[in-house]
Structures are given as structure tokens and as C-alpha cells.
């Protein structure tokens, strides 16, 4: 069964939606003002307090200081750190040193086969293959043929195309944000439909 993450939670009602829908993970974009979904660490703590225990919280970071990420990991506010910037192997090594045993994901923007070579070799626990930072557009999924490691698929996914994506690619997980929004805000009906679609496949 393909797992599912609902990303970009920023309001108390967003947390309530995922509590009701029950995805595997939910994501919080931390200290990235370019994103309208960004939350501060204090806002994250307040939202995390509302989260049901069966949904795993993921912090999404773009080139943030190592200490900021590890503090949130070590105090249990997030269980997983998802990296979306220019973080390299040395950055990941520093995270592992300061937050031993914590899960680290790294996102890769996929445009060419070379991007996938970098993703396949990167020393993260999981990798996420995306079209970009919150563009809402899909990349060329045919590039993923024979990709050698499990991955989460992101970019351009919504409840309508999710079943076909899962049947075609069989990813380890899927990650949705704008595809479960209406008017720029999380939509419970779409979240519920996406989770149901992932469970059915």
C-alpha cells in the first residue's frame, strides 16, 4: 500500500482535517517566508499539540540552520526532517550527529535523468521526487522508469490523478499540498478523497 503525506498545514483546522482523514504523515513548512504555508517554530508547536498520535509530523526546511532542525527533532515536535534546499551530504551528516536516530528526507527537483542520479545516490533515509517547490505541476513521470530506490512522489498530484499515478509508478509514498486545496486553503473533502484514493490503491 502506498503511503500518503498531506503537506503545508498552517491552521488549526488543517490539523483537524488530517486528524479526521488519517494520512500517514503531515508536513509543516518551517520558517520559509516565500511560502504562504510557512509557520514559525512556535506556531508549529501549537499546531503539533493538536495533532492526532497516529499521524506522523514532518518538518519541511529550506536551507535552515542545523540547530533549528535538530532542536525540533530532539524535542519531538517533528519526527522527520524533510530538506528542500541546497542541503548536501555534510549538512545531513551534521543533522545525524546532533539528532542521532532521527529520520531525514531530502527532496529533489526532477528535470533531467541527471537529477535522478543525484537523488538515487543521496544519503537520506527517504527521498522525495518533485517538480519544484510548491508549483503544483507534475514532472515527466516517464523518467522514473527503473529508478533504483523507494521514493515519495510529489508535484501536481490531486485526488483525481492520484490513483493512476500510484498504479503506474508504485511509489513508496505520495505527497500532496496544493492538490488538496481550494482557494489556497486546505480542503477537507479533497484531503479525505486523496487519502481514500491512496488506501484503495
Q: Which are the catalytic amino acids? A: 7, 130
Contacts for 74-82: CB closer than 8 Å, 24+ residues apart: 74/98, 74/99, 74/102, 77/41, 77/44, 77/45, 77/48, 78/28, 78/44, 78/48, 79/103, 80/25, 80/56, 80/104, 80/105, 81/105, 82/27, 82/58, 82/106, 82/107, 82/128
Cα distances (Å, whole numbers) of residue 200 to 1, 65, 111, 167, 176: 8, 39, 30, 10, 16
Amino acid at each position: 500500500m502506498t503511503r500518503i503525506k498531506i503537506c503545508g498545514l498552517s491552521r488549526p483546522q488543517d490539523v483537524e482535517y488530517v486528524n479526521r482523514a488519517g494520512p500517514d504523515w503531515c508536513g509543516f513548512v518551517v520558517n520559509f517566508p516565500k511560502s504562504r504555508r510557512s509557520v514559525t517554530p512556535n506556531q508549529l508547536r501549537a499546531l503539533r499539540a493538536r495533532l492526532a498520535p497516529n499521524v506522523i509530523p514532518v518538518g519541511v526546511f529550506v536551507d535552515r540552520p542545523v540547530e533549528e532542525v535538530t532542536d525540533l527533532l530532539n524535542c519531538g515536535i517533528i519526527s522527520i526532517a524533510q530538506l528542500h534546499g541546497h542541503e548536501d551530504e555534510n549538512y545531513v551528516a551534521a543533522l545525524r550527529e546532533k539528532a542521532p536516530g532521527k529520520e531525514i528526507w531530502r527532496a529533489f527537483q526532477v528535470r533531467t535523468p541527471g537529477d535522478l542520479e543525484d537523488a538515487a545516490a543521496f544519503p537520506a533515509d527517504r527521498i522525495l521526487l518533485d517538480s519544484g517547490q510548491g508549483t503544483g505541476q507534475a514532472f515527466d513521470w516517464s523518467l522514473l522508469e527503473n529508478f533504483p530506490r523507494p521514493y515519495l512522489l510529489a508535484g501536481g498530484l490531486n485526488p483525481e490523478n492520484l490513483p493512476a499515478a500510484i498504479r503506474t509508478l508504485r511509489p513508496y509514498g505520495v505527497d500532496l499540498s496544493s492538490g488538496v486545496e481550494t482557494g489556497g486553503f486546505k480542503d477537507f473533502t479533497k484531503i479525505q478523497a486523496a487519502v481514500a484514493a491512496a488506501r484503495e490503491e
